[in-house]
Amino acid sequence: MFLLRRLARLAASLAVLLAASFSMIHLIPGDPVRAALGATAPAELVAARRAELGLDQPIHQQLLAYVKGVLTGDLGTSFQTREAVAGVIADRLPSTVELAVLASLIALLVAVPLGVWLAIRTHNGRNPGSELAFTTVTGTVAAIPEFLLAVGLVVVFATTLGWLPPAGKDGPASYVLPVLALTVGPIAILSRLIRVEALRELDMDYMRMARAKHLTGRRLYLRHLLPNTLTATLTVAGLLLASLIPGTVLVENVFAWPGLGQRMTESILQKDYPVAQAVVLVYGAVVLLVNFLVDVALGVLDPRSAIRGT
Amino acid sequence: MRALRSPAPLAGLLLVTGFVALALLGPVLWGQSAARIDDAAILQGHSPSHPFGTDNLGRDLLARVLVATRLSLLLAALSTAISLIVGVPLGVLPSLLPPRGARAAAGVINALVAFPGLLLAMFTAIVAGLGARGAVLGMGLAGAPMLARLTQTLAASVANSDYVSAARVLGVSRRRIALRHVLPNIAEPLLLNVTLILGGSLLGLAGLSFLGLGVQPPDYDWGRLLLEGLNRVYVDPEAALGPAVAIGLAAAGFNLLGEGLAKAASRTASVVRDAAAGEALEQVASQGVLSVRGLSVAFPGGAVPVREVCLDVAPGEIVGIVGESGSGKSLTALAIAGLVPHPGRVTGGVSLCGQDLSALSPRELRRLRGTSLAMMFQDPMTTLNPAMRVGAQLAEVSTTHHGLSRKDALTRAVDRLRRVSIARPRERARQHPHAFSGGMRQRAVIAMGLMGTPRLVIADEPTTALDVTVQRQILCLLREVTDETGAATLFISHDIAVVGELCHRVVVMYAGRVVEELPVEDLVSGAAHPYTRALVASLPDMDTDRSLPLATIPGRQPSPTEDGPGCAFAARCDLATERCAAGRPPLVRYGPERRVACWEAP
List pLDDT tens digits, range B281-332.
333 344 578 888 888 888 887 788 888 888 888 888 899 999 888 888 888 9
Q: Is A26 within a domain?
A: no
Say which amino acid occupies A309.
Answer: G
Q: Say yes or no for a CB contact (<8 Å) between A143 and B252.
A: yes
Backbone angles phi, psi at B310, to 5 degrees: -120, 140
Give the model confidence (pLDDT) of A273-286 as tens digits: 888 888 888 888 88
Q: What is the mean pLDDT of residues B189-204?
A: 83
- How far CA A74 is from CA of A83, A90, A262, B380, B578, in Å, comes to 12, 12, 21, 59, 97
Q: What is the pLDDT of residue A54?
A: 75
Tell me how close the Cα of B178 comes to any Cα of chain A, in angstroms: 27
**Looking at the partner chain, which of A151, A215, A250 has a beta carbon nearest the beta carbon of B244?**
A151
* Residue B538 DSSP SS3: coil
CATH at A172? 1.10.3720.10
Lowest mean pLDDT among A221-230, A299-308, B181-190, B315-324: A299-308
Q: Is A51 within a domain?
A: no
Spatial separation of the C-alpha atoms in residues A289 and A14, rounded to whole Å: 9
How high does pLDDT run on average in chain B?
81
> Is residue B81 predicted with pLDDT exceeding 90?
yes
Taking alpha carbons only, the member of A112, A98, A149, A99 closest to residue A237 is: A112
Say which amino acid occupies B68.
Answer: A
Domains of chain B plus CATH, in order, are 2-269 (1.10.3720.10), 290-596 (3.40.50.300)
Say which amino acid occupies B490.
Answer: L
Spatial separation of the C-alpha atoms in residues A155 and B237, rounded to whole Å: 6
Spatial separation of the C-alpha atoms in residues B419 and B394, rounded to whole Å: 13
Give the model confidence (pLDDT) of B212-254 as tens digits: 888 887 888 888 888 888 777 777 777 778 888 888 888 888 8
Give chain A's domain count. 1
Q: Say yes or no for a CB contact (<8 Å) between A213 and B118.
A: no
Spatial separation of the C-alpha atoms in residues B507 and B517, rounded to whole Å: 4
Find out whether B580 and B566 touch, Cβ atoms under 8 Å: yes
Say whether residue B15 is in contact with chain A using an 8 A CB cutoff.
Answer: no
Tell me how close the Cα of B35 comes to any Cα of chain A, in angstroms: 25
| pLDDT band at B274; cut points 50, 70, 90 | very low
> Is residue B51 predicted with pLDDT exceeding 50?
yes
Nearest CA in chain B to A223: B388
Spatial separation of the C-alpha atoms in residues B269 and B403, rounded to whole Å: 47
Chain B segment 239-258 residues within 8 A of A by beta carbon are 240-241, 244, 247-248, 251-252, 255-256
* Domain limits for position A264: 93-270
How high does pLDDT run on average in chain A?
81
| pLDDT band at B4; cut points 50, 70, 90 | low
Q: Per DSSP, which regions of A123-185 are E strands? A: none
Spatial separation of the C-alpha atoms in residues B6 and A132, rounded to whole Å: 12
Alpha-carbon torsion, ordered B70, B72, B78, B79, to 10 deg: -170
* Residue B307 DSSP SS3: strand
Say which amino acid occupies B35.
Answer: A
Lowest mean pLDDT among A72-86, A109-123, B299-313: A72-86
Widest CA span in chain A: 83
Give the model confidence (pLDDT) of B422-453 as tens digits: 889 999 999 888 888 888 888 888 888 888 88
Give the model confidence (pLDDT) of A285-303 as tens digits: 888 888 888 888 877 766 6
Nearest CA in chain B to A121: B342
Q: What is the pLDDT of residue B271?
A: 30
* Residues of A with Cβ-Cβ distance to B118 under 8 angstroms: 243, 246-247, 249
Tell me how close the Cα of A243 comes to any Cα of chain B, in angstroms: 5
Checking DSSP bridges between strand B588-589 and strand B513-519, what pairing results, if any?
unpaired
Checking DSSP bridges between strand B456-460 and strand B488-493, what pairing results, if any?
parallel
Q: What is the pLDDT of residue B78?
A: 93
Q: What is the pLDDT of residue B549?
A: 65
Say whether residue B572 is in contact with chain A using an 8 A CB cutoff.
Answer: no
| pLDDT band at B278; cut points 50, 70, 90 | very low
3-state secondary structure B415-441: HHHHHCCCCCHHHHHCCCHHHCCHHHH
Separation of first and last alpha carbons in chain B: 60
Nearest CA in chain A to B452: A213
**Looking at the partner chain, which of B207, B385, B387 has a beta carbon nearest the beta carbon of A145?**
B207
Separation of first and last alpha carbons in chain A: 11
| pLDDT band at A260; cut points 50, 70, 90 | confident
| Helix axis angle, B438-449 to B468-485, nearest 10° | 10
Q: Say yes or no for a CB contact (<8 Å) between B119 and A303.
A: no
**Looking at the partner chain, which of B127, B252, B387 has a beta carbon nearest the beta carbon of A27?**
B127
Chain B segment 419-438 residues within 8 A of A by beta carbon are 432, 434
3-state secondary structure B327-393: CCHHHHHHHHHCCCCCCCEEEEEEEECCEEHHHCCHHHHHHHHHHHEEEECCCHHHHCCCCCCHHHH
> Is residue A155 predicted with pLDDT exceeding 70?
yes
Taking alpha carbons only, the member of B455, B436, B460, B424 closest to residue B384 is: B436
Nearest CA in chain A to B111: A13
Check the CA dihedral A95-A238-A70-A79 and report its sign.
negative
Spatial separation of the C-alpha atoms in residues B492 and B464, rounded to whole Å: 10
Q: What is the mean pLDDT of residues A217-231?
A: 79
Find out whether B67 and B197 touch, Cβ atoms under 8 Å: no
Chain B segment 90-129 residues within 8 A of A by beta carbon are 111, 114-116, 118-119, 122-123, 125-127, 129
Nearest CA in chain A to B200: A143
